[in-house]
Structure 1
Amino acid sequence: MPKALPENPTGSSGSAGDDALSSLLGTIRLSGSLQFCFMPTGSWQTDAAPSLAQLSADASGTMPFHVVAEGSCWLELDGVRTALETGDVIVFPFGSGHQLGAGENGRLVTPTQDLPQKPWRDIPILRYGDEARRVRLLCGYLQCDALSFLPLRQSLPKLIHTRTQGANDADWLRATIRQMVAEVDRPRAGGIAMLPRLTEIAFIEILRHQILMAPPAATGWFAALADPRLSRCLALIHDDPKQDWSLKRLSAASAASRSTLAERFRMTLNTSPMRYLRDWRLHLASVALGTSGQAIAVVAHAAGYDTEAAFNRAFTRAYGKPPAAWRKALKAPPPVCP
């Protein structure tokens, strides 16, 4: 797994891959929150932020993000520093601990400790210092249930770094960032609700772009979406997961022999077509548990299991906890993100 994807992709992906990604994003909860605007000046550094995994045992799927609205600074992750500039968007899919700063040996600032108590009528703006050199960061989190789907989770790096300055295909993202800044600068009715929606739109497009980053010989879910035959097969599974699929039917519809399809799944996704189908059905079941009041037996039947006991065993193996416990954990609020 790469530590970071630092560049913007170019080109366009096939429609089948786009359909598979759309089906994934369309069947999950994707919620977000812009927690605060952070405006330090001069030389400064944050404390080493702990990872979300250290803050909460149920933080899976909670992704901190920062948008550099103005100025430049650095990000340190796993001892490696990365320069950030105006227009950069950085997302931490696994809530990795990190540090931000400008200059060297600057004063320590602790924005998460300086936040006012909720509820907030407007987005808090935290200012530090009065020097001429200013950095402006929009900080928050996204709660993305898609990360419970193992093929996607295994394809994501610890850091997604997207640059918008000078990128020909980033006009929309620059416009979204400008709108986010405007909502903070000029609070209007509905602004608190508008900012999470803008954040979600930006993240979905950034995630789509990662597909184009996968080189032809790469492995993982993004590489599978870039493979015409695999992406066609994935689209069939995602579009109609309740279908009584078999390897023979999937291979015929994907214009590949059974042995070729099975080998491509093994080499690219380290799984089989039928196991992928099972995992996708279980993912849909996890979504249903979090977004509906359906009885677990009903969710089990929709996932293709004849008995609730068999579903409980399969779900626990895949997600580490029984369906009832999973549903309860999803109702807990996400932690405050560093």
Structure 2
Amino acid sequence: MREALSENPETAGVARDDVLSALLSTIRLSGSLQFCFMPTGDWQTDAAPSLAGLSAKASGTIPFHILVAGSCWLKTEGEETGLETGDVLVFPFGTGHQLGAGRDGMLVLPTRDLPQKPWREIPVLRYGEAMKGVRLLCGYLQWDGLNFAPLRQALPKLIHLRTRAANDGDWLRATIRQMVDEIDRPRAGGVSMLPRLTEIIFIEILRHQIMMAEPRSVGWLAALADPSLSRCLSLIHDDPMRNWSLEDLATAACLSRSALADRFQAMLSTSPIRYIRDWRLYLASVALATSSRPIAAIADDAGYATPPATWRATARLPSTATSRWAFETSIPTMKVLGACMGCSSLQRGLKAQPTVRAKTWRRRCSLRREFKTQG
């Protein structure tokens, strides 16, 4: 009976959907459609964007292109792919790439030709005098989902979706048409509407990528396809703050504790308990960036109730999250503390053994009291 339950494909499918729903519900996006690019004739461009020019935050910046009309080619890492109307390209890790039509065409650099912000409407950049050409919508997204390692490892360097061939491409094409209409016939609120449409398209592409990805022997997608692990992951994502034990998860997965631990290690290169920790830390980073809850409450939810544990945990979070933590706790900066302790390399010292970090924490708390007394 236990074996039959663990191999039930319908149960595995429901569990996989639960995990995806939990993940997608935590995604924080900020989309920006930068410009409409309309070259004609033979042309080429190095489309690896200067992210510093496109966005103030290069970390987590994802470039994308939507081919609205015409055809062209894409080159990435030495491989060339033909593109047709309706194709959507997303580069989760900002991989360098080139776009073009024909051979030995003019070099165009649209990011250098953009007008100064702020824009009242989306810029349309035209190149060449030929009647027919291509039309590309280009831009970027800011996404914090890459901070969750299992998801980051599951994504490819390039997501290429052909909406003409996709079963669910009808509404994607309709959304793209609405974006084009907002550009061609600007209306009140259009500049605000376009980023929201971009975010919706990205979430659907991400869901499509995860659901339709080829089965793998290892990795997060393989774990979602495994009946036992998908059930286990569903429980974790459904109630991440529960005090899960290895025995609880093994019972739910219909496996022994050693078998579950071995399967987790083989597919995800981690243990069940460490996976729970990483997911809690990701949720904590989202909470730090989006809520006004006290730091202590967020740290407690993540399973870090003591100051040394909280400090070690925040060291793993994005800099934006740790900045808020440091500000709210009113602890002197590393530079100030280093000077007080006669240590010019305090940052390197904190990367030493955990006991050293704990001692440093106690010293920092002592210094904090001294600063308050002096104040």
TM-score (norm 2): 0.78
Distance in 1, matches of 2:284 and 2:322, equals 12
Structure 1 Cα separation of the partners of residues 65 and 280 of structure 2: 33
1:249-328 alignment, distance < 5 Å: 249-316=248-315, 318-319=316-317, 323-325=321-323
Gaps of at least 5 residues in structure 1 are 1-12, 329-338
**Residues 42-101 of structure 1: per-residue CA shift (max 9 Å, x gap):** 111113635649999952221010000001111121222221111010001011222111
Deviation at 1:133, TM superposition (A): 2.8
1:14 aligned counterpart, secondary structure:
helix
Cα separation, partners in 2 of 1:217 and 1:101, compared to 1, 3 Å: closer
Q: What's the CA shift for 1:275?
A: 0.6
> Deviations along 1:18-40, whole A, 9 cap, x unmatched?
22122112123112111111111
CA distance in 1, matches of 2:275, 2:52: 27
Task: Look up the match of 2:89.
Answer: 90
Note the alpha carbon deviations across 1:192-245, whole angstroms, 9 max, x for none: 222112111111111112223444443211222222221221111111111111
Which runs of structure 2 are paired with 1:37-56 in the superposition (5 Å)?
37-47=36-46, 49=48, 52=51
Change (3 A) 1:320 1:184: closer
Amino acid in structure 1 at the alignment position of 2:78: G
Give distance in 2, aligned partners of 1:270 and 1:55. 35
Q: Distance in 1 between matches of 2:63 and 2:324?
A: 22
Whether 1:226 and 2:240 are equivalent positions in the alignment is no
For residue 323 of structure 1, report the CA deviation from its aligned partner: 4.3
The reply on whether 1:131 has 2:130 as its aligned counterpart is: yes
Aligned positions of 1:237-248 closer than 5 A: 237-248=236-247
What percent of counterpart residues are identical?
68
Asked whether the 8 Å contact 1:313–1:322 carries over to 2, the reply is no
Could you list the per-position Cα deviations for residues 289-318 of structure 1 after superposition, in whole angstroms to 9, with x for gaps in the alignment? 1112334323211211112331221332x3
Distance 1:50 1:192 in 2: 21
Provide the secondary structure at the position in 2 that maps to 1:115.
Answer: coil
* Aligned length in residues: 315
Q: Residues 54 and 222 (structure 1 numbering): CA distance in 2 closer, same or farther, change over 3 Å?
A: farther
Q: Which has the higher contact order (CA 8 A, sep 6+)?
A: 1
In the alignment, structure 2 segments of 5+ residues that lack a partner are: 1-11, 327-375
- The answer to which structure has the higher helix fraction is 2
Residue 139 of structure 1 aligns to which amino acid in structure 2? C
What's 1:8 paired with?
none
Q: Secondary structure, in 3 states, of the residue corresponding to 1:86?
A: coil
Q: CA-to-partner distance for each residue in 1:138-187, whole Å, 9 max, x for gaps?
A: 01111111110000001111111111123333222122211211111121
Residue 148 of structure 1: aligned partner: 147
- Partner of residue 202, structure 2: 203
Largest Rg, 1 or 2: 2
Does 2:158 align with 1:159?
yes
Aligned counterpart, 1:27:
26
Q: For residues 82 and 61 of structure 1, do their structure 2 counterparts lie closer, same or farther at Cα, with a shift above 3 Å needed?
A: same
Quote the residue 1:81 is aligned against: 80
Q: CA contact under 8 A between 2:55 and 2:61: conserved in structure 1?
A: no
- Extract structure 1 runs of 4+ deviating beyond 6 A: 53-57
The amino acid across from 1:199 in the alignment is T
Identify the residue that residue 181 of structure 1 maps to in structure 2. 180
The answer to whether the Cα contact below 8 Å between 1:44 and 1:102 also exists between their aligned partners in 2 is yes
Paired AA for residue 291 in structure 1: T
Distance 1:125 1:178 in 2: 16
Contact 1:74–1:84 (Cα < 8 Å) also in 2: yes
Q: CA RMSD in A?
A: 2.3
**In 2, Cα distance between the equivalents of 1:327 and 1:195?**
33
